Structure 1
Amino acid sequence: MLRVAVVGSGPSGCYTAQHLVQLDPGARVDVLDRLPCPYGLVRYGVAPDHEKIKSLQNGLRTVLEHERVRFLGAVPVGPDGVPAARLRELYHAVVHCVGAAADRRLGIPGEDLPGSWSATEFVSWYSAHPDAADTGFLRGVRSAVVIGVGNVAVDVARMLARGTRELRPTDMPDAALTALAASEVTRIHMVGRRGPAQARFTTKELRELGTLPDTAVQADADDASLDPAFADPSGLPPPRRRNVEVLRAWTAPPRADALRLIRLRFFLRPVEVLARNGRVGAVRFERTVPDGLGGITGTGRFEDIEGQLVLRSVGYRGVPPAGLPFDAATGTVPHLAGRVLRGGAVAPGEYVAGWIKRGPTGVIGTNRSCAKETVTSLLQDAPSLTARALPDDPLPALRAEGVDPVLWQGWQSIERAESRLGASLGRGVVKLADWTSLMAAARDAGEAVTGP
């Protein structure tokens, strides 16, 4: 009987567990997560107003409720929890599906001023991640600068412009809802260093900006005209052509009665975050132009854009998983079809899937094929892996390491607590936003727990 630990309960972890139990009728899988809640970025990274994408949790739930899959939440792996080497002793194989947890930095002066944040920190706050801090993101903010032109940048710009009426039906924590309702933000600048034809948002996400009540959207015509493909997008790949067509429709002057304005700027490279009264006051950008080779070059001309809040959304990067080799250049774990490589040789029983395997690329569905490749490698190795005897159940040994896992009944108890909280506030489900509340709700399950 093959017993596998999957570290991480986001899409890549759940799809890995799903492929394992589908392809091996005897496999038993423990899905470990350092948080007491499952689903990873589907719970803590998808914007609360995107109910259709959030509904992917239903499919992940089906995996975690499989009779041969067990969820073990609140189990950190590494120096502050269960050592990775200990996991390898307790399971025939360990698959690390830990994503890319760090944000890329701009590397410019002033980036660490008060009021300058990564977009992920802002997303974590309004998504109720228990590690997020309520730092008063919006206090005293009239104008915000979002650096980046991908889907996360679109998400945070949209959330800054959303009204209480649209956000109240979501599962957003009440503190974030209250802060956004009181927001005085009227100008949101979304800025990219290249042209509109190179922007990475999807057309569906982009169009959504134009549907926001009381909000106008304008694409700067002077910026866009620097892109040769903007005047005639017919030669672009279809996704980029559709983006350009949407942006072309937004070059007209914005309507005067809008309470808020989202302005999309292009060919501006951030060079410094400027201070005003000890915190962010503006961002200085250098004008760029196409270099004729698909890239850009600086012009030596600069422009300052006012903003008391700066959110950088320039990509993610993997961090070294405890006990695993790591390639700092790519931000990934070296592997061969999902098999971890140590010094160029395959490490028996160690595997990776998801962003820590391939880098922060693709959409949620990309994790299916990525996980299947890793599981295929693992099952090819299974005859040699299962030759090693294991304890009947690793759970007592995990508890001996000082962790007290939140099992599925505990997660269900958290869900009930979030439903009660929402009802008390006259809303639907409202997320618990701190460790104390989550763990108290989990321990309130009051049920004996057994597992496969």
Structure 2
Amino acid sequence: MSRSLRVAIVGAGPAGIYAADTLTKSDTEVSIDLFERLPAPYGLIRYGVAPDHPRIKGIVSALHRVLDRPQIRLFGNVEYGVDLKLGDLREFYDAVIFSTGAEKDRELDIPGIDQQGSFGAADFVSWYDGHPEVSRTWPLTASSVAVLGVGNVAIDVARVLAKTADELLTTDIPDNVYQGLKSSPVTDVHVFGRRGPAQAKFTPLELRELDHSPNVEVVVHPEGIEFCAASMALIRSNKQVEMVVKTLQEWAIRDQGSRPRRLHLHFLQSPVEVLGDGEVTGLRTETMELTGDGGVRGTGEFTDWPVQAVYRAVGYLSTHLAELPFDHTTGTVPHQAGRVLDMDEQALPGVYVTGWIKRGPVGLIGHTKGDALETVTSLLADAPLLAAAARPEPDAVVRFLDQRGIRYTTFDGWRQLDEHERELGRAESRERIKVVDRHTMVSVSRG
């Protein structure tokens, strides 16, 4: 091929940007366009990480440097399946990588889960992160709240619910989120895990951050701090698990302080029913016992917890992408080393996946780098045999978007929005205030 390899990446979150990074560092001359449904890049970093995680959000600096490379262009506010389709992309690009992530809540099939006051954690995260496609309001009326799950998302949700709104003014939360949290009457947040402390999925850092608030007392209920042979083996073999368990054990035996709000951690408590008659009035859990192999079984002993809201944080799920095969059980696109497979398990020429749409919503943000490397390796190996794009010239896709009247945003536009948000923050002695309204985001980005 006498020209550079033209690659489209659908999704400008960490997975997509890591794929672009890997491609530009290869020995192959490439030209890459990233297409993002939202007007701003960074996906999970901007809209899926709790706002009081400045260290994690520091990843943005590295992602920014990738997007700043001359071989890469960003087209924001462009929705795959609506503004352009797979056939359109194959017209302009030799290969397409899908990196659309996972942002929907996985369902939890227990009685009463659909009552008013029962929420998905992903929806709440989108609200407090100022996602432009969700409501500006959130019903924060409960004084006692249950969070189901013991992963990092569950811990983030519990921490944001338990903290005072003023503590979050050091972050980029929009004014509507600050006002909503400020009106919250919450005093107690209960986090429930159906297995033991050694099987908790949060990281040591996430756990320790819970105890940093001057207004939130972290209470570990000691009756759930139990270990079986498999638990002990896991503790001995995994340094992170050992650190989590050590912290939980120390907190379980310490004296409780007098901070005005409490965040409770319960282990070996499995949710079996959300109580209420159309509106949440409580949560029923069954006490579990360890089986010795890392699993648990029910004891038949039940407890009713008087909570007025329930947040399920039992996992994310990807959305089915138009014209691509989809496994609805795993929430992933079938693939082999990143090559998308059709119903006959044959590779779709020139179509690839990376990130959570490829492997499911597991692992930390950094784990998507390995995904990207595998996918890009497959793509580059296939490159000599790929059908060449009919209109590979870089301006062709720009004309296509313009002709359709799509108000796309660019990386230069993101710079303008970034500065606008920082200016809003400076006016209130804050680093940044995030813009929520989509129309405003697009207007500022387009100058």
2 CA distance for matches of 1:159 and 1:15? Answer: 29
Cα distance in 2 between the residues matched to 1:286 and 1:108: 12
Q: CA deviation at 1:97?
A: 0.4
Q: Does 1:193 align with 2:189?
A: no
1:256, 1:51 → 2: CA distance?
27
Mapped contact 2:145–2:189 kept (Cα < 8 A): yes
* Residue matched to 1:346: 347
Structure 2 residue aligned with 1:66 = 69
| Mapped partners of 2:238, 2:352: distance in 1 | 35
- Aligned partner of 1:127 in structure 2 is 129
Cα deviations by residue, 1:69-112 (Å, 9 ceiling, x for unpaired): 0000001001x221122112221111000112321111112212
Q: Does the alignment pair 1:416 with 2:428?
A: no
The gaps in structure 1 that reach 5 residues or longer are 446-452
Q: Which amino acid aligns with 1:176?
A: V
- More deviation in 231-240 or 283-292? 231-240
Q: What CA distance in whole angstroms lies between the structure 1 residues aligned with 2:211 and 2:440?
A: 37
Residue 332 (structure 1) aligns with: 332
SS at match of 2:146: strand
Count of paired positions: 441
Paired with 2:412 and 2:227, the residues of 1 have a C-alpha distance of 57
What secondary structure sits across from 1:210 in the alignment?
helix
CA distance in structure 2 between the aligned counterparts of 1:148 and 1:137, rounded to whole angstroms = 21
Q: Which amino acid aligns with 1:296?
A: V
Q: Give the distance between the partners of 2:283 and 2:175, measured in 1 at CA.
A: 31
Offset, 1:182: 2.9
State the Cα deviation string for residues 345-373 of structure 1 (Å, max 9, x = none). 11111011111111112211111121111
- How far off is 1:228 after superposition? 6.6
2:275 corresponds to 1:274: yes
Write the deviation string for residues 230-267 of structure 1: whole angstroms up to 9, x where unpaired.
89986463222211111111113653522011111111
Which stretch shows the higher mean deviation, 369-378 or 28-37? 369-378
- CA displacement at 1:402 relative to structure 2: 4.6
The yes-or-no answer on 1:311 pairing with 2:314 is no
Q: TM-score, normalised by structure 2?
A: 0.93
Query: Matched residues in 2 for 1:233 and 1:36: separation?
Result: 43
Q: Any idea what the Cα deviations from partners look like across 1:145-179, whole Å, max 9, x if unmatched?
A: 11001111111111122234431111111111122
Matches within 5 A, 1:20-419: 20-78=23-81, 80-138=82-140, 140-225=141-226, 235=236, 237-252=238-253, 254-275=255-276, 278-342=278-342, 343-385=344-386, 387-392=388-393, 393=395, 394-419=397-422
C-alpha distance in 2, partners of 1:388/1:127? 38
How far has the Cα of 1:25 moved from its partner? 4.9
Paired residues of 2:407 and 2:442 also in contact (CA < 8 A): no
The farther-off stretch of 201-210 and 434-443 is: 434-443
User: 2:269·2:285 contact (CA, 8 Å) conserved in 1?
Assistant: yes
Distance 1:265 1:439, change over 3 A: same
1:441 to 436, 439, 444: 444
Unaligned runs of 5+ in 2: none
Deviations 1:297-353 (A, max 9, x none): 122221111222211111112221111111223221111211111121111110111
C-alpha distance in 2 between matches for 1:312 and 1:255: 27
